[in-house]
Amino acid sequence: MNNYMNYDWYRANQSMNNLFNPKDGFEKGNMFENLFSQYKNYQEEKLKPITEQEKELYELSAISFAAHDLNLYLDTHPDDKSMFMLFKDYTNKLNSLVEEYERKYGPLNINSKEMNTSFTWESDKWPWEGRNV
């Protein structure tokens, strides 16, 4: 995984001191430390990707979650320039991660550019046919 999952450069800006990093926000379901409220004694499950594909999908999912959560924040705080810059940064990173992932492993969704060239599910084994999930 690259440094995007653990970087803390955004903490240098005072208005962003209450943010989790993308990995922690993804696992907790909230990017904002001051809005996170643990349910009773529930402990979130620490996800442990094993294969390189799982690691890339995990990073992509965490950055996607961070971008979407900041997008929701910006709906109610449209003048927060520092959060908008962070949102743009996450969005750009997400786009490059999706492009890289799809180039290696095939399309992630119906809008993918890879849908025009690749229909791997026609030739791949299904999980019940012996493919590991």
Burial of 27 by CB count in 10 Å (0-12 exposed, 13-18 middle, 19+ buried)?
Answer: middle
Residue 79 covered by a domain: yes
**Helical H segments across the chain, by residue range:** 22-28, 52-76, 81-105
Q: Total domain count for the chain?
A: 1
What was the pLDDT predicted at 27?
87
The two tokens of residue 116 are 């025009």
Mean pLDDT per 10-residue section of the chain, whose length is 133 residues: 47 60 88 77 82 93 95 92 93 94 83 65 66 55
Please give the residue range of the domain that contains residue 12: 3-32+49-110
Q: Does residue 130 form part of some domain?
A: no
Determine the pLDDT at residue 124.
Answer: 65
What's the maximum distance between 2 C-alpha atoms anywhere in the chain?
Answer: 53
**Model pLDDT for residues 40-69, shown as the tens digit of each residue:** 777 777 888 899 999 999 999 999 999 999
Q: Residue 89 falls within a domain, yes or no?
A: yes
Q: Among 33, 27, 35, 45, which residue's Cα sits nearest to residue 8?
A: 33
